[in-house]
Amino acid sequence: MILHDIIYEWDGKSKAGEKPVSWWPGSYRVRIVKLGDDTKAIRYLFPIAVILKSQKDTKPLHTSLKNYIDNFAKKLSITYGLDIEKTLWVELDKEIRVAQLNPDQKLSNETLYTISWRPARPNELAMIDPYIKDM
């Protein structure tokens, strides 16, 4: 089920001391989908997927989220009430890659994450396929 379908843009500038997604501008189509509900018999490791596709092909705005997914994930998680660790972050590009964010270190006011990107697995592709056809 699609929960949210938006275009998320950033200008690469810091506002009120807040760290931007990246220091370069960018724009992504973001689709947040619910993959399933937990029951007594089934528990989903990742009940939510955030599917991302760059919207700009020009150099200044074609910023990949590969190196900035933690900043992006923190902003989206606050705005849409997502659990970063229980969300599958999917970037559609030449290949479909997924990221998992695991807390690594907690500072006084910020959590740092270990991020692992990998190609999407066949079962993950099967689950997100209905949601990526028109992106």
pLDDT at 119 > cutoff 90: yes
Q: What are the phi and psi torsion angles at 34 (to 5°)? A: -95, 120
91, burial (CB in 10 Å: exposed 0-12, middle 13-18, buried 19+): buried
Residue 85: strand, helix, or coil: helix
What average pLDDT does range 95-124 have in this prediction? 87
Q: How far is CA 5 from the centre of its chain?
A: 13
Which residue ranges make up each domain of the chain? 2-132
What average pLDDT does range 19-45 have in this prediction? 81
pLDDT at 12 > cutoff 80: no
Q: Which of 59, 52, 33 is nearest to 93 (CA)?
A: 52
75, burial (CB in 10 Å: exposed 0-12, middle 13-18, buried 19+): middle
Q: What is the mean pLDDT of the chain?
A: 85
Sign of CA dihedral 30, 33, 3, 83: negative
Q: Which of 135, 95, 104, 99 is nearest to 117 (CA)?
A: 99
pLDDT, residue 57, reads 61
At 93, is the pLDDT very low, low, confident or very high (cuts 50, 70, 90)? confident
Residue 3: strand, helix, or coil: strand
pTM of the model: 0.84
pLDDT, residue 89, reads 95
Percent of the chain with pLDDT over 90: 42
pLDDT, residue 21, reads 81
Give the separation between CA 42 and CA 40, rounded to whole angstroms.
6
